[in-house]
Structure 1
Amino acid sequence: MGIISMIIIGLIAGAIARLLVPGKENFGWIGTILLGIVGGYVGGTLGSMVFAPHKFTVQPPVNHAFLGAIVGAVILLVIYKFVRARV
């Protein structure tokens, strides 16, 4: 995966995560991109621990890596809000 596609997917996944989790964050574009990229890593790691690798003969209708990035970004955002509220 190229760096440009990683940035674009990170931006989209981070923006969706920010829409799903209520509240306001002052991240800006760079923070949203980093949230999506790191969320992709977290979601991919959790997905590989939970689900066994599958050999699909037909491509699934949804990109699992993109969904993992959104789930990971939501998890990171919830943790961030929890830590921020306690400080």
Structure 2
Amino acid sequence: MSIIAFLVIGLLAGLLARALMPGNQSMGLLATTLLGIAGSFVGGFIGSFFNSDGRILDLHPSGLIFSVIGAMVLLLLVGFAGRSRRVRI
């Protein structure tokens, strides 16, 4: 897969994940793209459990779905990490 296609799929996955997650995620376009790319890796890892050959980085028809799921998992983890740093009075 080319780098441009990888970036476009990452951007789409990041945008979809941010749209589906409740709450306010204050991220720019670059952070959203990086979230989607990282979500693609996480989603590929999750998707490899359901695939018989177990390859992580191969392109699958359900790749965008697992990329969005992976990006949502990362958003959830970042939300939990950011919540513990706030001082509550």
Query: TM-score range with shorter-chain normalisation?
Result: 0.7 to 0.9
Please list every run of 5 or more consecutive structure 2 residues that lacks an aligned counterpart in the other structure: 54-59
AA in 1 matched with 2:51: A
**TM-score of the superposition, structure 2-length normalised?**
0.82
The total of aligned residue pairs comes to 79
Task: Kindly report the root-mean-square deviation, in angstroms, between the aligned alpha carbons of the 2 structures.
Answer: 1.5
2:50 counterpart residue number: 51
Distance 1:81 1:71 in 2: 15
2:8 counterpart residue number: 8
Distance 1:86 1:79 in 2: 11
Please list every run of 5 or more consecutive structure 1 residues that lacks an aligned counterpart in the other structure: 55-61
Distance 2:24 2:51 in 1: 36
% identity of equivalent residues: 39
Distance 2:61 2:37 in 1: 15
Structure with greater helix percent: 1
Q: CA deviation at 1:46?
A: 1.4
Larger RCO of the pair (alpha carbons < 8 Å, separation 6+): 1
